[in-house]
């Protein structure tokens, strides 16, 4: 959140000044767009680093989330002031509940859209720094057109590319035997290169959220492209 606020404070003014809307509606939409872009520019490398994903519909979602979250914030402040006042507090509570319902519904709806999340795979801290230097260099070059910032972006991009090549090589040659810690269930994984074989009991395959939460993040970090699944309900023989 601190990074997003820093992006809004430092980057948003430069984005906003690129276009001057002529009426209230386009001015409001452009303001939301500028804020969304600034926050995303500042935080997307952290999204790669911590969550290994990128929200592809962030502009669409923020067109709804930002206004509704603003209403939630002011309604919450009003509720603190008028909590002891009958009728008025009831109206504020109803407004707050309705706004939260719309806010959560809009987020869930966005998540159901095709391609809502782009899985990026895990990056290391050095790659995170390179992405920030690359992004910062391009942004500063866009602002003042000094060639030194373009040089910074170019060098950072080259280093990032080399680091990604080494990472790709490590993933292509990896071999792992894993026992996943899953509550009330059992899971075993065999990884060779970009391929994985999973063995699990019926509970894992009947509840997809177990795989998504306990297994899938690790497979994404390992760059797995193909996954085979087998049940451990019966004895299983692997022919090597």
Reported pTM = 0.77
Q: CB of 72 within 8 A of CB of 100?
A: yes
The number of beta carbons lying within 10 Å of the beta carbon of residue 51 is 15
Strands 195-200 and 187-192: antiparallel
List helix spans (H) across the chain.
2-10, 12-16, 24-46, 58-82, 88-112, 125-144, 147-172, 202-206, 208-210, 216-221
Q: CB of 49 within 8 A of CB of 125?
A: yes
Q: CB of 11 within 8 A of CB of 35?
A: no
Written as six digits, the tokens of 202 are 């019926």
Q: What is the pLDDT along the chain (240 residues), one digit of tens a residue?
A: 789 889 989 999 999 988 888 888 899 899 989 999 999 999 999 998 888 888 898 888 888 898 999 999 999 999 999 988 888 999 999 999 999 999 999 988 988 888 888 887 778 899 999 999 999 999 999 998 899 999 999 999 999 999 999 988 888 899 998 888 777 777 888 899 989 988 887 777 677 777 777 788 888 888 888 888 877 665 454 554
* End-to-end Cα separation, the chain, in angstroms: 49
Written as six digits, the tokens of 60 are 């669409």
Q: How far is CA 89 from CA 82, 94, 201, in A?
A: 6, 9, 51
> Residue 87, SS3?
coil
Distance (Å, whole) CA 73 – CA 17: 27
Distance (Å, whole) CA 210 – CA 217: 11
Contacts of 221 (CB under 8 A, 6+ apart): 52, 121, 122
Q: How far, in whole angstroms, is CA 226 from its chain's centroid?
A: 23
């Amino acid at each position: 959140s601190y990074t997003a606020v820093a992006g809004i404070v430092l980057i948003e003014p430069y984005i906003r000044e690129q276009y001057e809307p002529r009426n209230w509606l386009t001015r409001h939409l452009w303001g939301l767009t500028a804020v969304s872009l600034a926050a995303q520019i500042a935080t997307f490398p952290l999204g790669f680093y911590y969550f290994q994903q990128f929200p592809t519909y962030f502009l669409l979602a923020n067109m709804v989330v930002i206004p509704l979250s603003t209403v939630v914030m002011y309604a919450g402040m009003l509720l603190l002031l008028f909590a002891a006042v009958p009728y008025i507090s009831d109206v504020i509570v109803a407004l707050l509940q309705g706004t939260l319902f719309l806010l959560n519904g809009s987020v869930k709806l966005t998540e159901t859209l095709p391609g809502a999340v782009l899985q990026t795979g895990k990056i290391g801290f050095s790659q995170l720094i390179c992405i920030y230097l690359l992004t910062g260099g391009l942004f500063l070059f866009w602002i003042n057109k000094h060639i030194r910032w373009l040089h910074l972006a170019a060098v950072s991009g080259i280093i990032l590319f080399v680091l990604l090549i080494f990472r790709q090589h490590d993933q292509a040659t990896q071999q792992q035997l894993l026992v996943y810690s899953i509550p009330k269930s059992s899971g075993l994984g065999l990884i060779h290169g970009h391929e994985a074989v999973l063995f699990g009991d019926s509970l894992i395959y009947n509840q997809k959220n177990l795989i998504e939460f306990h297994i899938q993040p690790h497979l994404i970090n390992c760059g797995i492209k193909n996954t085979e699944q087998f049940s451990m309900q019966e004895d299983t023989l692997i022919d090597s």
